[in-house]
Structure formats: C-alpha cells, structure tokens
C-alpha cells in the first residue's frame, strides 16, 4: 500500500492529511488561524502555522495509525497562496522528506480541491466550479490539463463576501449568507459577466456604499449573495453548454453555501445535467486533498527535487500537466 | 404593442445557454427572433434586469454596426419587456460547414478589421457565427458577447478565437485561411496595427485559456 502525507498551508489553514492509493483518507487534521479582527495577515498566519505544525503532524500520524516511516512521499501545496504561509508549509514538507529520505511532491492547491472532489463524489469528467476565498474559476480537464474556461478578473467570490461581512461588522462567510436569510429587498448591484469571466470588485464597492447610505444589512447581504451566485451560475451554465457536458462539480470553501448549491442545482435540472458537491469536511482548505493529489502525481512520477521546490504564490492550475488523468 | 404584430413562429434555429433563436414570419417577411429566456435559478428582479440590459446592449451594437455599413442583421423590433430582438433573417451557410471557406477569408478580414477600427469587438468570433451567402456575401451574427470601446486585447481575442475555430473546422486549410484573412485585415488597418495585434494574439495563445466551441 502506498501512503502519502499531504501538507496544506496556502492561507488561514494549516492542514495535514494522509491518503492511500485505494483512495482512503486516513487522517485530515486542520488548524485554522482566526484573526481577532479583520482579514488574514499573511505573516501572522504563517507564525500560527509554524507554531501548530508539530501538533498537527502528531495528531495526523496518531489518527491514521501510522509511523512517519510508513509514508512513501510528502506532498505540499506549492501555490497559489500567500507567500509566507506557503513557505512555512514547504519548509515542514522539505524537512520531513529529507529526514525520511522520501520524495517530495509539489501540489497545485486548486487542482487538489478538484481531485478530492472527484474522489469523494465519484463524478466523471465534469465541468468544475471552484469557488473559495482566494480563487474563483471554471475549469475542465481537456487533453490532460485543467483548462481555465472562465475566472474572476479581479477578486475572488469568497473574498468579496468575506470582505463585505467584515466591513459590515458581521464577520466573514457564512455570516453574510445567514444574514441574507432575514432580508426581503434586492437592491441593484453591478452584474459583471463577460463571456465566462466574472468581476466582483465593483459589486463589493457598491454594496459597501449601500451600507454607508444606511440600508439594512440583511437586505444588502441578500442583494450581494443573490447577485454573486447568479453570476457564478450563469458562467457555469455557459461552460456546460460550450463543452456539452452533463456533470458539474462544485468545490472550494464556497461549496458549503446552500444557496449557491440550490441555484446550480436548478440550472442543472433545467438543462438535464447533474451537480455534485464536495462534502463540507473537504470543501475548505485541507491536508487530505493535498495528500490525495500527491498520490495521483506520485503514480506518474511527478516528484520534485528539494532544490526546485520553491513555492509559487501565483501558480495557475493550467501550468500543471495532469499526468495521472487517462 | 408587439403582441399585436402577428408574428408566426416557424422553427427553432438554435438553443444557446442564454437565448433561443427562432425563425418567424411577419407580414410575409422572414425574421429571426432572439429571445433571452428567463432563468429560474435567478431571483426575478435580477433576472429581468440582466436580460433587459443585454438585449438593449446587443440591439445597440447591431444598430451601430448597421448604420456604419457592416454586414450584420438589421434590427426591426425590440421587445424589451420580454427581452426579444426581432431582426432580419439571413440566407446563408455557417462558414464552419461551407464547402469552400477560403473564398471568404479575405473579405472576412476586411469586415473584422473595419469593425475593429470602430473599436467594436464581436467577442465570440467563431465560424458558427459567420454566415456565408451566395457569391462572396458574408454576415456576422450573434453579438451577445460584443463590446464597444474595445482594447487591443479584446480585438486579439477575436482573431485568436477565429483561428482556433478554423483549426478545428478545417485543419488542413486553416493556415491558408488565416493568411488570407490577415491580408484582408491589414489592407484595412495597415501593416503596423496588424502586427501589433498579432503580437497580442501570440501572448494570449501562450496563456492558453480561451477555448472554442466546435
């Protein structure tokens, strides 16, 4: 049996996962940095990760019931993400790999979200909507590469909702979506869809302006979530139509949103497609997804010499050849 | 009111992600109705606003191009309440399934170039959206993703999409097709602008992210 250890540290989560070649997740430990107020400060998050690393690793080995020497490779998220956070995870991974004399694998964080989604939902050949705090894109595997069909032209959908929640004083997601449940009026916000691309920064500014005008927070939340999710659903439908595919996979932190799922479900039902959603425990950033994708990469020998294992804060998913795909 | 105009629906021509295109007739005239259909997933307020503003935008672009002599369908009526554009029916074959697409390439280059010199881009310039008529008559259709005030990158995307579409429709002829297209293009905008845009096309291609429908 092949066992891979995965280390995730792109943003607020330090995660350690253990995956086997049978597709079993033996451990998935998360240590989440929660700032007292405001958004994530990269350096503070990195210090949190460094402080929690040993504890998380110990818990992961204990939960998985394995010894460090049982693992066959060490995978880490190489990018995209916040530089200081990425470097902390990479340092931990390099250290373990070097000490144990095992190969190192640099995993693309976005691809890991997708591959864990495919593993746990069992959906075949989908169009993927990957929405999270730091990323928003629509992609599909075409000729062994995740091609970006559409993406945000500025900030991520999750970032837009989180920032608004923090400004409004209710906190990041899921607070804005919960508050939206009390709203009853939809105000006009910019709806920016360009082909299969979306833009959210104008919406955020407009929503914050509504707050300054004294509009009730629940109504602004409702307007914001409805607009953002409608845009995401629309571009996803366009991608399904363009590639003529009938399955959709929703991954990333925003996969936990019930309203977004509902919209996608309605859209898919109307066009005879099916939507698969990653379960909550694998929706946010986690180590299991890095371990599992590392395992896939190990199968086709995509290991990384330590001297070439620098992190890539702006790494794109289409940089990586999906050598494990058939 | 448009409801009283006695349109006769004949057949559905195309069903896209956003709109249904139908052939209809009115007082013996053949027309095309492009209907942006309601989407159940969106809240009614947002859905109506989005469909209405896009219908208006597309109609404006078509009008602007028609007024400036570009070969696009002439807009006859706009039903904003239902987000329908009624336009001229064009007799022609999609260039992707035409017997001899090369005959049209140079003329197409001229048309796209003169549209680009008005800073208008099509936004989805694939061979399915180019209709070839008798002789060398050509029409551009489906301006749903078009834009005013286009920059160099948007223009380059038009050319990139066309090239990718040609390569998938007739792989053995696509090089010659693009060669002729560019000859027509540069006749209108000049050599310098053409090479500037081709540089941009190269850059977009290297990013490798614009995918074309078949």
Beta bridge partners of B130: B140
Residue of A nearest to B16 (CA): A241
Determine which helix (DSSP H) or strand (DSSP E) holds B15, and give its type and residue range: strand B8-15
* Residue in chain A lying closest to B213 (CA): A242
Tell me, what CATH number does B16's domain have?
3.30.200.20
**Which value does ipTM take for this structure?**
0.87
Of the candidates A147, A227, A263, the beta carbon closest to that of B209 is on A147
How far lies A247's CA from each of A124, A159, A268, A277, B194, in Å? 7, 26, 8, 11, 41
A202 pLDDT exceeds 80? yes
For residue B60, what are its two tokens? 């404006």
Residue A243 with chain B: CB contacts under 8 Å: 211, 213
Structure tokens at A68: 């460090």
Sorting pLDDT into bands at 50, 70 and 90, what band is B211?
very low
List the structure tokens of A285. Answer: 């950033």
Within a domain: residue B214? no
Give the CATH fold of the A124-282 domain: Nucleotidyltransferase; domain 5 (3.30.420)
Confidence of residue B14 (pLDDT cuts 50, 70, 90): confident
Q: At B32, is the pLDDT very low, low, confident or very high (cuts 50, 70, 90)? A: very high
Rounded CA gap, A223 and A189, in Å?
7
Q: What is the pLDDT of residue B208?
A: 56
Specify whether B57 is located in the same domain as B12.
yes
> Strand pairing partners for A247?
A274
**B18 in contact with chain A, both atoms CB, cutoff 8 A:** yes
Q: Percentage of chain A surpassing pLDDT 70?
A: 100
CB-closest option in B46, B50, B123 to A195:
B123
Instruction: Check residue B93 and give its pLDDT.
Output: 92
Using CB atoms within 10 Å of the CB of residue A208, give its burial: 0 to 12 exposed, 13 to 18 middle, 19+ buried.
middle
Q: Which residues of B touch A238 (CB under 8 A)?
A: 17-18
B124 given a catalytic annotation: yes
Instruction: Clarify whether residues B166 and B97 are in a common domain.
Output: yes
What mean pLDDT comes out for the span A25-47? 92
Q: Do B121 and B21 belong together in one domain?
A: no
| Domain contains B162 | yes
- pLDDT averaged over every residue in chain A: 95
Q: What is the pLDDT of residues A90-114, one digit of tens each?
A: 999 999 999 999 999 999 999 999 9
Chain A partners of B209 at a C-beta cutoff of 8 Å? 147-149, 318
Residues B107 and B203 in one domain: yes
pLDDT, tens digit, 9 for 90 and up, residues B112-140? 999 999 999 999 899 989 999 877 689 99
Q: Is B46 on the interface with A (CB under 8 A)?
A: yes
Domain membership flag for residue B212:
no
Average pLDDT over every residue of A179-205: 93
**Same domain, yes or no: B100 and B63:** no
Note whether A3-113+284-319 and A124-282 share their fold.
yes
Say how far apart CA B188 and CA B177 lie, in whole Å. 17
Per-residue model confidence (pLDDT) at position B9: 82
Q: Which residues of A touch B40 (CB under 8 A)?
A: 266-267, 270
B50–chain A Cβ distance below 8 A for any pair: yes
Read off the pLDDT of residues B136-160 as tens digits, 9 standing for 90 and up. Answer: 689 999 998 899 999 999 999 999 9
Same domain for B72 and B27: yes
* pLDDT tens profile B34-82: 999 999 999 999 999 999 999 999 999 999 999 999 999 999 999 999 9
Cis peptide before A174 (omega within 30 of 0): yes
Interchain pair A242, B124: CB under 8 A: no
Q: Is the pLDDT of residue B6 over 90?
A: no
Task: Find the CATH number of the domain harbouring B138.
Answer: 1.10.510.10
Q: Is B44 on the interface with A (CB under 8 A)?
A: no
More confident position, B211 or A139: A139
The arithmetic mean of pLDDT across residues B171-184, rounded, is 96
Give me the residue spans of the domains in chain A.
3-113+284-319, 124-282
B11 lies in the same domain as B61: yes
Cα(A64)–Cα(A62) distance, integer angstroms: 5
Q: Give the pLDDT mean for B9-24.
A: 90
Say what the pLDDT of residue B136 is.
66
Which chain B residues have a beta carbon less than 8 Å from that of A188? 49
**Residue A29: closest CA among A281, A293, A297, A255:** A281
Q: What is the mean pLDDT of residues B86-102?
A: 92
Which chain A residue's Cα is nearest to B157? A195
Q: Which of B88, B106, B122 is the last residue of a domain?
A: B88
**Do A318 and B209 touch, CB atoms closer than 8 A?**
yes
Q: Which of B47, B79, B119, B124 is catalytic?
A: B124
Q: Judge if B76 and B21 occupy the same domain.
A: yes
Q: Whole-angstrom Cα distance, residue A147 to residue B212? A: 12
If you measure CA to CA, which chain B residue comes closest to A146? B209
**Is A133 known to sit in a ligand binding site?**
yes
A 248-307 → B contacts, CB under 8 A: 262-264, 266-267, 270
Same domain flag for B109 and B78:
no
The arithmetic mean of pLDDT across residues A233-248, rounded, is 93
For residue B209, give the nearest of A188, A191, A318 by CB distance. Answer: A318
pLDDT band (50, 70, 90) for residue B214 = very low
Test B39 with A195 for CB contact under 8 angstroms.
no
Q: Is position B171 within any domain? A: yes
Examine the domain organization and report whether B153 and B102 are in the same domain.
yes
Asked if the model's pLDDT at residue B202 lies above 50, the reply is: yes
- pLDDT tens digits along A265-300: 999 999 999 999 999 999 999 999 999 999 999 999
- What is the fold of A3-113+284-319? Nucleotidyltransferase; domain 5 (3.30.420)
pLDDT (tens digit per residue) in A293-325: 999 999 999 999 999 999 999 999 988 999 999
> Are the CB atoms for A285 and A11 separated by under 8 Å?
yes
Q: Is B41 on the interface with A (CB under 8 A)?
A: yes
Predicted local confidence at residue B3, as pLDDT: 53
> Judged by CB atoms within 8 Å, which residues 215-244 of A form the interface with B?
226-227, 230, 233-234, 237-238, 240-243
Q: Are residues B136 and B73 in the same domain?
A: no
Per the CB < 8 Å rule, is B42 touching A238?
Answer: no
Tokens for A263, please give them.
């919209």
Query: Does B207 score more than 80 pLDDT?
Result: no
Number of structural domains chain B divides into: 2
Domain-embedded: residue B46 = yes
Residue B38 touches chain A, beta carbons under 8 Å: no
Q: What is the pLDDT of residues A41-88, one digit of tens each?
A: 999 999 999 999 999 999 999 999 999 999 999 999 999 999 999 999
Selected for mutation to probe chain A from B48, B209, B214 (highest A CB count within 10 Å) is B209
User: The tokens of A201 are what?
Assistant: 């920064």
Smallest Cα–Cα separation from A33: which of A63, A56, A4?
A56
Residue B45, domain extent: 2-88
Nearest CA in chain A to B49: A188
Q: What percent of chain A has pLDDT over 90?
A: 89
Q: d(Cα B206, Cα A274) in Å, to the nearest integer?
A: 33
Both B100 and B80 in one domain: the answer is: no
Question: Is residue B176 in a domain?
Answer: yes
The answer to the question of whether A318 is labelled as a binding residue is no
pLDDT of residue B213: 39
Taking an 8 Å cut-off on Cβ atoms, the answer to whether A147 and B211 are in contact is yes
The rounded percent of chain B whose pLDDT value lies above 70 is 93
């Amino acid at each position: 049996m092949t066992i891979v250890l995965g280390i995730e540290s792109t943003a607020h989560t330090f995660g350690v996962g253990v995956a086997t070649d049978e597709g079993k997740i033996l451990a998935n430990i998360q240590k989440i940095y929660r700032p007292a107020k405001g958004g994530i400060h990269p350096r503070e998050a990195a210090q949190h990760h460094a402080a929690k690393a040993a504890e998380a690793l110990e818990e992961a080995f204990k939960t998985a019931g394995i010894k460090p020497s049982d693992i066959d490779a060490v995978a880490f998220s190489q990018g995209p993400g916040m530089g200081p956070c990425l470097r902390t995870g990479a340092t931990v991974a390099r250290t373990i790999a070097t000490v144990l004399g095992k190969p190192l694998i640099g995993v693309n964080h976005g691809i890991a979200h997708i591959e864990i989604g495919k593993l746990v939902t069992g959906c075949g050949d989908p169009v993927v909507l990957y929405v999270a705090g730091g990323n928003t894109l629509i992609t599909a595997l075409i000729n062994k590469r995740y091609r970006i069909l559409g993406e945000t032209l500025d900030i991520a959908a999750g970032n837009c909702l989180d920032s608004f929640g923090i400004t409004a004083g209710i906190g990041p997601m899921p607070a804005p979506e919960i508050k939206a449940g009390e709203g009853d009026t939809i105000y006009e916000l910019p709806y920016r869809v360009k082909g299969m691309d979306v833009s959210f920064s104008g919406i955020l500014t407009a929503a914050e302006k509504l707050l300054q005008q004294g509009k009730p927070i629940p109504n602004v939340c409702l307007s914001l979530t409805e607009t953002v999710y409608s845009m995401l659903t629309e571009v996803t439908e366009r991608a399904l139509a363009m590639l003529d595919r009938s399955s959709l996979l929703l991954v990333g932190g925003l996969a936990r949103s019930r309203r977004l799922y509902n919209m996608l479900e309605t859209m898919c039902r109307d066009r005879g497609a099916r939507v698969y959603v990653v379960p909550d425990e694998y929706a946010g950033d986690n180590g299991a997804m890095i371990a599992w994708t590392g395992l896939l990469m190990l199968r086709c020998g995509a290991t990384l010499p330590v001297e070439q294992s620098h992190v890539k804060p702006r790494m794109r998913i289409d940089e990586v050849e999906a050598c494990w795909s058939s | 009111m448009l409801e009283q105009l006695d349109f006769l629906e004949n057949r559905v021509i195309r069903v896209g992600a956003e709109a249904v295109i139908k052939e209809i007739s009115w007082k013996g005239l053949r027309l095309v109705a492009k209907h942006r259909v309601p989407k159940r997933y969106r809240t009614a307020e947002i859905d109506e606003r989005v469909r209405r503003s896009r219908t208006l935008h597309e109609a404006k672009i078509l009008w602007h191009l028609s007024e400036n002599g570009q070969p696009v369908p002439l807009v006859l009526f706009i039903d904003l309440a239902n987000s329908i554009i009624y336009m001229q029916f064009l007799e022609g074959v999609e260039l992707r399934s035409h017997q001899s697409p090369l005959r049209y390439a140079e003329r197409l280059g001229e048309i796209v170039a003169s549209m680009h010199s008005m800073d208008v881009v099509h936004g989805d310039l694939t061979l399915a959206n180019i209709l070839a008529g008798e002789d060398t008559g050509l029409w551009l259709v489906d301006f749903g993703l078009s834009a005013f005030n286009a920059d160099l990158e948007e223009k380059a995307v038009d050319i990139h999409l066309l090239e990718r579409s040609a390569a998938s429709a007739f792989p053995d002829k696509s090089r010659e097709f693009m060669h002729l297209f560019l000859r027509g293009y540069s006749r209108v905008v000049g050599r310098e602008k053409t090479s500037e845009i081709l540089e941009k096309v190269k850059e977009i291609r290297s990013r490798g992210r614009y995918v074309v429908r078949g």
